[in-house]
Structure 1
Amino acid sequence: MTKADAPGALRPQPELTTKVQPAQQRAADTFERILQAAALTLDEVGIERLSTNLVCKRAGVTPPALYRYFPNKYALLSELGQRLMERQNACVERWMCPAVFTQDAPALARALEGLLLDTFEVTRRTEAGIWIMRALRAVPALQQVRLSSHAAVTESQARLLAGAFPAAEPSELRLASRLVVEMIYASIEMLFDEPLDPKAVARMLGGMMASQLDRLAAAERRQGA
């Protein structure tokens, strides 16, 4: 047994950052073509079978051309993951604003329902969207992409909640925000894994999450009284 194989030993993680950011249009076109080929190939063969050779073949580039930008397949997946997270997070900004938290529980539930359905559609329309989500959860080297994105959304939503519920404990608001983020993300994965009605799932989950936030609103009203 080697030292790296010993129980509890930390294995070296693959490099995830792009080597070069394209500065000219031709290079940018190649960069995007490689990413598009990676998404198409991922959708076709899955995470385990994805390889830089397959991506090169589909993109019509040589391995050195790909390696100029991406050191390995995990760097490709990381870039695809960051882009998907940005699209999903934009849904949060569209649906969750300060005014939402001043409305009653049914209105808040409808906003959360809309957020889940919007996020589901964004993921569905993204090439290999669900495979990218699975990679961000299943591949240890990529988990930080997902966790960092979720942490950023959690903090922004916790700040909105703090404005709506100034008497509430910040730690409770942060926990509520994080649970909402994780529940929506898990529900999106479930909708791709099982033949469920997205509207029914969104309606039920929206009601569940709104009830918790409504409890915070009730506590806020008691505090004011």
Structure 2
Amino acid sequence: MQKPLVVITGASSGFGAEIAKLFNQEGYPLLLLGRRTEKIAQLPLNFQDVMIESVDVTDYQQFEKAIRKAEAIYGPVDLLVNNAGIMLLGNVQNQEPNEWQQMLNTNIMGVLNGMQIVLDQMIKRKHGTIINMSSIAGKKAFINHAAYVASKFGVHGLSETVRQEVSDKNVRISLVAPGAAETELLTHVTDQNALTDYQAWKNSMGGITLDPHYVATSVKFIYDMPQEVNIRELALAATRQDG
């Protein structure tokens, strides 16, 4: 019997790539979305039942088109992992406003877009799971993270709101909040002072942050629970992270 369709955004690296590996190993058909499709194609996967689409999650029509294309082959989405995100560190006094907008668009609008695209069919089937990737920065503040923190507090708020709206339809909305992790999120930061401060903070933890593999196993753990069990929120970080 074919397993149900899993959709992962931001699948080219970091959490998304690790989540894709786990579900691929267990034979789930996958729709992997990202702007760097060449990197997704290089992942160590069995590509027999894997679709790769170049999608900007802030583009609703593009996002929906990719999902409908996969659903026509594999059936309705049973799990959507809203993983695509941007972290552009900077102090609010001098950070470019366009960087704020990029984070708000991707980190909030991208999540809302994905949820709306799949929720109708999940509600009709009374079955389905959406896991939104947030951050510990959605629970507490960090210096040089103002707009990023704002976006992730937003993800926490919208996730809990929608969870309440669909819980009686047996649809699960869950949220994973990792701490600092070994991902590519910092590669787009333009504020060198913020990067220096971040690296000093990281060094205070021994220079190694959370391995993305363990974030992926957390996502899988949430999904593997019976449909009548919803792990509403899971926060995890490197043991030595103090904040």
TM-score normalised to structure 1 length: 0.33
Larger relative helix fraction: 1
TM-score normalized with structure 2 length: 0.31
**Greater CA radius of gyration, 1 or 2?**
1
